[in-house]
């Protein structure tokens, strides 16, 4: 049912890990009228009949114009970062008088290897060491160009390492999910080096995106993470304590595509968005493990 007094939100890439959780989170708040788009069918039961879910390619421009029309905010979660496609989408948003576009960038890849192991601010130099990171930066710059021209209010969220339900293992999304599945399947887990990371629980990430939707300030880029450093070996011990099961770990040298340290300074988001992560790693891992255990211990994975 359409909530005429609610903000109209279009989520592109709604069938993925973040999108699945975000749709459920925003829908549960009762504050938004959600239209969810994905290039594949819904992959889980979180997509409810209480909001619109459509299978649609981002390049089906006639249908995309129809879906963008009347929206207040467009949230771009789709992995597609081709500049021509993104430009076409942003032009459609401008034509439809969309107020805001929020882009899910990557705090885990855009900064690259930093000189000192201190939380990384948004103002830090960008030295991505992967094509994925370069693509994220290029899309951020494109959005910034639209903002600078006064065409569209754009926000890029540089997201740390999210974890939580619907982190699909077959897509190799995240070390936490991989660790849980290695326990469930009694398999060895490969660990590359002993890097330091910033892990954010999915509900905290969704709360940050919600805060960005209603944000009226002018800051264009925010780090979104926990702001807390966790070494991978320490994370494995956490997981063993929570599951009560030992991990069989195959230690290997760090790979070229892995940065040694990546922890985000989230003070700007706390100040401007009025958002602070609330879920501790221990509590988040417990909730996540409960979901994996209920979902996969009964399924053929």
Residue 297 lies in a domain: no
As separate numbers, helices (DSSP H) first and strands (DSSP E) second, the chain gives 9, 13
The residue to which tokens 């960038």 are assigned: 105
The residue to which tokens 């609610």 are assigned: 6
Residue 235 lies in a domain: no
The structure's pTM equals: 0.94
Q: What is the DSSP annotation of 161-202?
A: EEE-TT--GGGT--HHHHHHHHHHTT--EEEETT-EE-EEEH
- pLDDT score of 300: 46
Residue 283 lies in a domain: no
Residue 168 lies in a domain: no
Q: What is the CATH number of the domain that holds 41?
A: 3.40.50.720
- Residue-number span of the structural domain to which 154 is assigned: 7-163+199-226+263-269
Residue 40 lies in a domain: yes
Residue 281 lies in a domain: no
Q: Mean of the per-residue pLDDT values for the chain?
A: 91
- pLDDT score of 53: 85
- pLDDT score of 81: 64
Residue 186 lies in a domain: no
- pLDDT score of 301: 42
Taking every pair of Cα atoms in the chain, the longest distance, rounded to a whole number of angstroms, is 56
Structurally, the chain folds into a number of domains equal to 1
In this structure, the strands spanning 161-163 and 73-76 are unpaired
- pLDDT score of 158: 98
- pLDDT score of 41: 64
Rounded to the nearest 5 percent, the helix, strand and coil shares of the chain are 40, 20, 40
The residue to which tokens 């450093």 are assigned: 229
Per-residue pLDDT reduced to its tens digit, 190-207? 999 999 999 999 999 999
DSSP, collapsed to helix, strand or coil, labels residue 155 as strand
Name residues of the chain where pLDDT drops below 50: 1-2, 299-301
Residue 37 lies in a domain: yes
């Amino acid at each position: 049912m359409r909530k005429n007094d609610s903000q109209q939100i279009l989520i592109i890439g709604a069938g993925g890990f973040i999108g699945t959780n975000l749709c459920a989170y925003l829908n549960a708040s009762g504050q938004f009228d959600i239209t969810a788009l994905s290039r594949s069918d819904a992959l889980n039961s979180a997509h409810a009949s209480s909001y619109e879910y459509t299978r649609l390619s981002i390049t089906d421009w006639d249908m995309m114009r129809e879906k963008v029309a009347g929206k207040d905010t467009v949230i771009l979660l789709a992995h597609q970062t081709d500049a021509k496609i993104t430009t076409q989408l942003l032009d459609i948003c401008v034509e439809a008088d969309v107020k805001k576009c929020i882009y899910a960038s990557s705090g885990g890849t855009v900064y690259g290897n930093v000189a000192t192991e201190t939380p990384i601010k948004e103002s830090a130099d960008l030295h991505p060491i992967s094509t994925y990171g370069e693509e994220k930066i290029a899309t951020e710059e494109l959005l910034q160009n639209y903002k600078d021209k006064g065409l569209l209010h754009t926000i890029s969220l540089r997201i740390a390492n999210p974890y939580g339900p619907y982190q699909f293992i077959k897509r190799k999304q995240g070390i936490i999910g991989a660790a849980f599945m290695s326990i469930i399947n009694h398999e060895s887990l490969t660990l590359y080096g002993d890097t330091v990371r910033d892990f954010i629980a999915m509900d905290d990430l969704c709360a940050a995106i919600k805060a960005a939707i209603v944000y009226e300030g002018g800051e264009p880029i925010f780090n979104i993470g926990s702001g807390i450093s966790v070494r991978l070996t320490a994370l494995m011990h956490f997981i063993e304590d929570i599951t009560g099961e030992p991990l069989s770990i195959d230690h290997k040298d760090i790979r070229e595509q892995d940065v040694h340290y990546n922890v985000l300074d989230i003070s700007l988001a706390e100040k401007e968005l009025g958002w602070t992560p609330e879920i501790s790693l221990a509590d988040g891992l417990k909730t996540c493990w409960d979901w994996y255990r209920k979902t996969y211990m009964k399924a053929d994975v």
